[in-house]
Homo-oligomer: A and B are copies of this chain.
C-alpha cells in the first residue's frame, strides 16, 4: 500500500483488494446485488463496491488497514439471515464476508469449550460436536443457515433460551479485529475471569459496529441424556394460552422449549403444512422438557395447561414431538406465502405475556389490521408479524409497530429481544435507552471506530 490519502478512489481500492485477496474479491453484479438484502424484508437502495472473503485473521487485518487508509466503510456479514437489516450494504461499502473463515479450530470436551472461526454455520458446528457428545446451545430459528459469528454479533436467541440461555451465555472469549486492523484478544478459556472491563460481553450483540469478530471461544454443553417429552395444547384464544404459559413459568418448572401461536398464525400454517388446524382452537402452545425429570415435568405442565383451559397431549416419541414443533417452526415461511412479512421482536417479563397480547389486540383494533403473533412464551419474547403487499413497509404499519414497542417498554420490556436494532429499529433506540445512555453508547462506538467505518448507519 503506497497511499494513505483519505480519498475515495474506488479503482485503487479494488485494485489493492484484488492484490490482497485474488479470487476472493467479488464484484460481479449478482453477488453485489445479493448484499442489498437480508431476511428482514428490507432492501438497500444501492449495491456495495465489493465483497471480500478473507481466509484468515491476517487477511481481515489487511482489509481493515486498507479500508482505514482509504476511509472505505466495511459491513461485516455472515450468512445474511438477520431480521433487522444489520448486514445490508450500500454504495461505496466493502462487504467483509466471514464465510471463507468457517473452520472449527478446536473441540475440547474436557473443558466443554470449542474454538471456531466466525463463518461456520450453527447447524454444521452442532453436527461436528455431536460425535463428541456435545452441543452448542444457541439455536436461532435460522440455525441451519446462520453463522456462529452472526449469532454472536446479534446475541441471537432461539427456542431453547428459556432453559439454556442466549448466545452471550455461551461466549467465553473473542478475537476481534479493530477498524484500523489491530487484533485484540478478549476473554479467556477459563470459565471465570474478571480481568478489567468485560469487553467480551460488550462485543456480543454489537452488530458489527465495534469490530470484526474473527474467532470465538465458546462454551459447549454435554448433550442432555434421556428422552425429550413434548406437550402440545390448543386453547380457545391466545390470551388464555398466554396466561397458561405464565402459570407454567410461575410453577417453577423450566421447560427447555415453550412456544405459543395465535389464531392468525395457525390459519396460515394449516394450509402451508397441509394440516386441518381450523377447528382445533384459537391458540397453540407447545413445550418440551428434557433431562432426568423430563417425563414428570411434562405431566406437570400438561396438568397446568389443562387446568388453564387447554386440551393437552404428551409424547415421548421423537418424530411425533418434532411434528408438534414443526407447526411452530412453519410460522414464518407460512406467513411469507401470504405477503411481505415484517417480523417484530418485543420482549416482556414472562408474567406480562397476557398483558402484551391484550396490547396487541388493542393495536389490531385501533389500526384495523391483523397481527399474527408467535412467542417464545417461556422467555416472554413475542414475534408479532405485519403482513402487507409490496416491498416497502407502509407508514401505518410503522405506526402500529411503534405502538407495539411503547407497549412492551411500558410493561418493563424491550423493543428487541433477539433480533437487534440494525436499520429497522434505529429510530426507537434512543427512546428506550434514554438520551444519556444513547449518547454514551454512541461515544463508545466512536472510541472503537473513530472514523465511523464499521457498519455505518446501523444501530445508532
Q: Does A443 contact B (CB under 8 A)?
A: yes
Residues of B within 8 Å of A421, CB to CB, are: 194-196
Q: How many copies does the complex hold?
A: 2
Contact of A189 among B166, B198, B412, B444 (CB under 8 A): B412
- B191–A379 touching, CB < 8 Å: yes
Among residues 395 to 446 in chain A, which have CB atoms less than 8 Å away from a CB atom of chain B? Answer: 412-421, 429, 432-434, 436-438, 440-441, 443-445
Residues of B within 8 Å of A29, CB to CB, are: none
Q: What residue of chain B has the Cβ atom nearest to residue A167's Cβ?
A: B194
Residues of B within 8 Å of A199, CB to CB, are: 437, 440-441
Q: What residue of chain B has the Cβ atom nearest to residue A447's Cβ?
A: B443
Q: Does A293 contact B (CB under 8 A)?
A: yes
CA distance A156 to B381 in the complex (A): 29
Q: What residue of chain B has the Cβ atom nearest to residue A443's Cβ?
A: B447
- A198–B205 touching, CB < 8 Å: yes
Q: Of the listed stretches A229-237, A347-355, A359-367, name the one at the interface; the rest are far from the partner chain.
A: A347-355
Q: Does A310 contact B (CB under 8 A)?
A: no
Residues of B within 8 Å of A155, CB to CB, are: 194, 198
Q: Does A133 contact B (CB under 8 A)?
A: yes
Q: Contacts A190-B414, A190-B417, A201-B201 given: A196-B441 contact, CB under 8 Å?
A: yes
CA distance A287 to B195 in the complex (A): 27
Residues of B within 8 Å of A192, CB to CB, are: 157, 161, 166, 347, 376, 379-381, 414, 417-418
CA distance A420 to B193 in the complex (A): 8
CA distance A206 to B13 in the complex (A): 41
- A438–B349 touching, CB < 8 Å: no
- B433–A196 touching, CB < 8 Å: yes
Q: How far is the CB of A438 from chain B (nearest CB, A)?
A: 7
CA distance A444 to B201 in the complex (A): 14
Highest count of chain B CB atoms <10 Å: which of A349, A380, A413, A419: A349
Highest count of chain B CB atoms <10 Å: which of A154, A445, A447: A447
Q: What residue of chain B has the Cβ atom nearest to residue A223's Cβ?
A: B252
- A198–B201 touching, CB < 8 Å: yes
Q: How far is the CB of A221 from chain B (nearest CB, A)?
A: 9
- A195–B416 touching, CB < 8 Å: yes
- B113–A349 touching, CB < 8 Å: yes
- B194–A420 touching, CB < 8 Å: yes
Residues of B within 8 Å of A198, CB to CB, are: 155, 168, 201-202, 204-206
Q: Does A108 contact B (CB under 8 A)?
A: yes
4 A-B pairs closest in CB distance: A201-B201, A189-B412, A192-B417, A222-B252
- A-B contact list, 16 entries, CB within 8 Å: A111-B249, A111-B351, A155-B194, A161-B191, A178-B436, A190-B417, A192-B347, A192-B376, A192-B414, A192-B418, A194-B414, A196-B432, A199-B440, A291-B292, A292-B292, A443-B447
Q: Does A182 contact B (CB under 8 A)?
A: yes
Contact of A292 among B205, B293, B429, B447 (CB under 8 A): B293
Q: Does A389 contact B (CB under 8 A)?
A: no
Q: Does A62 contact B (CB under 8 A)?
A: no
Residues of B within 8 Å of A412, CB to CB, are: 188-190
Among residues 256 to 273 in chain A, which have CB atoms less than 8 Å away from a CB atom of chain B? Answer: none
Residues of B within 8 Å of A202, CB to CB, are: 197-198, 201-202
- A184–B459 touching, CB < 8 Å: no
Q: Does A358 contact B (CB under 8 A)?
A: no
Q: Does A169 contact B (CB under 8 A)?
A: yes
Q: What residue of chain B has the Cβ atom nearest to residue A200's Cβ?
A: B201
Residues of B within 8 Å of A133, CB to CB, are: 252
CA distance A166 to B169 in the complex (A): 11
CA distance A374 to B166 in the complex (A): 32
- A182–B436 touching, CB < 8 Å: yes
Q: Does A109 contact B (CB under 8 A)?
A: yes
Q: Does A110 contact B (CB under 8 A)?
A: yes
Q: How far is the CB of A71 from chain B (nearest CB, A)?
A: 21
- A184–B447 touching, CB < 8 Å: no
